[in-house]
Amino acid sequence: MASFNLFLLTLTLFIFLNQPFLLVMADEALITNLCSKTTEPGTCSSCLKSDPSSSTADARGLAKIASHCAEFDTSIFHDKHLLDGCSSGSFLAVADFDGVASSIDSGDYGSAKGIISDEILPQVNHCLADFEKFPTLPVPPDVLAGTHIVNEDCNIVLAILSNI
């Protein structure tokens, strides 16, 4: 009888102590799976892992984390105030992320994708379109880099929303 109790105690401890590892593996697999479906898996993974809550987040939570990364990068781009047109476009884009978050919270992924595709990305990309009108005027490196990273971030969010 004592050996059976010892066996149960050992089995219980084994299961209890290995539980966190199983959860981390599942979350890592979800992050890897979702990020592999984006155009920038490395950036996606870095973004999601930068938030401590990603270790317990479901797909909806990971979509919100990705949206926060995109919002953060958009606000950095906005804060530089390099050019009025670029700044106002990114300012409007930052404001639209509230709608993205609300749509994700309500499970309306189509609306979240629509806001990103139809409102945020055109506002951010308007800046580069203005520079294309004046080909001899170089695009400032910060503007080019900011536009590029915001596009990457938004494409990551779109890919995640398309796969949950």
Q: Per-residue pLDDT tens for 2-48?
A: 554 444 444 344 444 444 433 333 488 999 999 999 999 999 999 99
Chain-centre distance of CA 53, in angstroms?
13
pLDDT, the chain, mean: 81
Architecture of domain 2-162: Up-down Bundle (1.20)
- What gap in Å lies between CA 162 and CA 11, rounded to an integer? 41
